Structure 1
Amino acid sequence: MKNVLTIAGSDSSGGAGIQADLKTFSAHGVFGMSVITAVTAQNTQGVFAVQDIDPDIIAKQIDAIFDDISVDAVKIGMVSQIPTIKIIAEKLREYAPEKLVVDPVMVSKSGYHLLNPDAELTLIQELLPLATVVTPNIPEAEVMSHRSIHTLEEMKDAAKAIFQMGAKNVLLKGGHLENDSTDILFTGKEFIPFSSARINTKNTHGTGCTLSSAIASNLARGMSIEQAIAQAKEYITIAIEHSLAIGKGVGPTHHFYSLYQKAGLLND
């Protein structure tokens, strides 16, 4: 079994963050491990408070994993402060995991800033050069590339700009486009589109966390970047199609739908 580490924040409602990452790892047949960077008080209606973990404790969590267990891939999610980003980058340079997925979590769906604006440049400078792939959505890509994005061509231009920041691959997610939900992978040599039908549901809490964790799982299992993304897209599409109307707001995706179906635990 491959071992995959998530470095991210905790979501008390279980739909995003560390909890979504570990569910996704399990659904992909890899062993999930976690380094918690922050504890959030959140539910389907929003994020209400964040307490960042001390950078020294973050470092010790990373040391504890790498000193004992072989790590086949790492996914980075919420890293809200400059000291947090710097200690993670320092430790990743020390341990040099071969496969690293960076999901630049900046703002929650409810509008809460999960990455302090003064830390945006630090994330770009410290983590992107280490990344096998970075997975921004359109609002995140707009912040990173300092440009507006409304079309596929503008997505390509932004992907090129982000690629220049050091990541080996850029997957720019198109879910925020009005008429298209195509994601674009830029490898530095070519653009590869990944299209899927837009699903009419409000229950999309944790989709970014889930997709990036699925990509990390697939990379750990030995897939190419293109294959890892393609299969991760299939997985998240099913998870969104069968999302869960839990809570009063934006519900979570169904991380285990296919497994439950095979086990005969579903009625449909």
Structure 2
Amino acid sequence: MIPVALTIAGSDSGGGAGIQADLKTFSALGTFGTSVLTAVTAQNTRGVTAVETLSPAIVAAQIDAVLGDFHVGAIKIGMVSSEAVIRAIAGRLRAHGRHAVVDPVMIATSGDRLIDEDALGALKEELLPLAEVLTPNLPEAALLLGERVAETEAEMREQGQRLRALGPRAVLMKGGHRQEAESVDWLLSDAGELRLAFPRVETINDHGTGCTLAAAIAAELAKGHQLNEAVREARTYLQGALQSAKSWRLGGGRGPVHHFHALWPAIAGERAS
């Protein structure tokens, strides 16, 4: 049977993040991608200029259409900035008896918040208990907990455990915001604590890294991997996507990672300029 994954997220017209990044990731990892659109953004490598959120009814209808027909092995949830949409998603997932990889997209690269207090409350109340794994970066983890941003690995682990107490089955604390020689993530679950360390890739082409990692985890889960292995494989895939995109130039801002680095030769990135 062909593995199928579902992404529930917003559209990025620049193609580097959101639904577009998720579907590219699913395909690159040998998984058939399905999608539920939550919002449309006018976006490129320089930033977001407009956002239009879809109605809760059409979001719920998309979920029912996909889950009512496809054998979906894993679900990834990304940008959901509306309280009503969050509650609609949670209601349909509960009705279908499903959990998801939840990427809490709440803070833009610029540092601007993308979610208001009502939506933040709904996210914590409705989606965190439905998370197979929650994948916050350090600022997002701090916002969810109402704490300062973790600065050490010990603080990352402590915050991750406090997030687990809010309902997720597992939490992947992403340490990319720490300016160290290694980029270290911690996966915290009933199976214990797993440290994942990779050399930091110095690049401006890192748009969509959070979306890509969460989608890669969902793809690996859909293929039947257990969580620890799915996260390890997904992080390895992201490392290659970052490394392979270092030399290319797409747009005038923070460019996307190279989702198809295993299929396109490395020189293809240089030809894209």
TM-score tier by shorter-chain length is over 0.9
Worse overlay, 235-244 or 253-262: 253-262
Asked if the contact 1:59–1:91 (Cα under 8 Å) also holds between the matched residues in 2, the reply is yes
Alpha-carbon distance in 2 for matches of 1:17, 1:49: 15
How far does residue 202 in structure 1 lie from its aligned partner after superposition?
1.1
Alpha-carbon distance in 2 for matches of 1:157, 1:170: 11
SS of the residue corresponding to residue 257 of structure 1 reads coil
Worse overlay, 182-191 or 156-165: 182-191
Letter in 2 for 1:260: W
Q: CA 1:161–1:266 in 2, change beyond 3 Å: closer, same or farther?
A: closer
2:143 equivalent in structure 1: 143
Letter in 1 for 2:165: Q
Which of 242, 253, 259 is the equivalent residue of 2:263? 259
Q: CA 1:84–1:267 in 2, change beyond 3 Å: closer, same or farther?
A: closer
Please state if 1:177 is matched with 2:181: no
Worse overlay, 115-124 or 65-74: 115-124
Asked if the contact 2:41–2:48 (Cα under 8 Å) also holds between the matched residues in 1, the reply is yes
Alpha-carbon distance in 2 for matches of 1:106, 1:219: 24
What does 1:74-93 align with in structure 2 at a 5 Å threshold?
A: 74-93=75-94
Asked if the contact 1:47–1:108 (Cα under 8 Å) also holds between the matched residues in 2, the reply is no
How far does residue 63 in structure 1 lie from its aligned partner after superposition?
1.1
1:215 equivalent in structure 2: 217
1:250 equivalent in structure 2: 254
For normalisation by structure 2, the TM-score amounts to: 0.93
Alpha-carbon distance in 1 for matches of 2:269, 2:109: 29
Letter in 1 for 2:232: A
1:45 equivalent in structure 2: 46
Q: CA 1:207–1:266 in 2, change beyond 3 Å: closer, same or farther?
A: closer
Please give the root-mean-square deviation of Cα atoms over the aligned residues, in Å: 1.7
Alpha-carbon distance in 2 for matches of 1:123, 1:195: 29
SS of the residue corresponding to residue 175 of structure 1 reads coil
Alpha-carbon distance in 1 for matches of 2:204, 2:269: 22
1:104 equivalent in structure 2: 104
Asked if the contact 1:103–1:208 (Cα under 8 Å) also holds between the matched residues in 2, the reply is yes
1:165-196: per-residue Cα shift (whole Å, max 9, x none)? 01000000000012242000111452110000
Which segments of 5 or more consecutive residues in structure 1 lack a partner in the other structure?
none
Alpha-carbon distance in 1 for matches of 2:159, 2:16: 29
What does 1:151-162 align with in structure 2 at a 5 Å threshold?
A: 151-162=152-163
Q: Which runs of 4+ in 1 moved over 2 A?
A: 110-118, 264-268
Letter in 2 for 1:127: L
Alpha-carbon distance in 1 for matches of 2:268, 2:258: 13
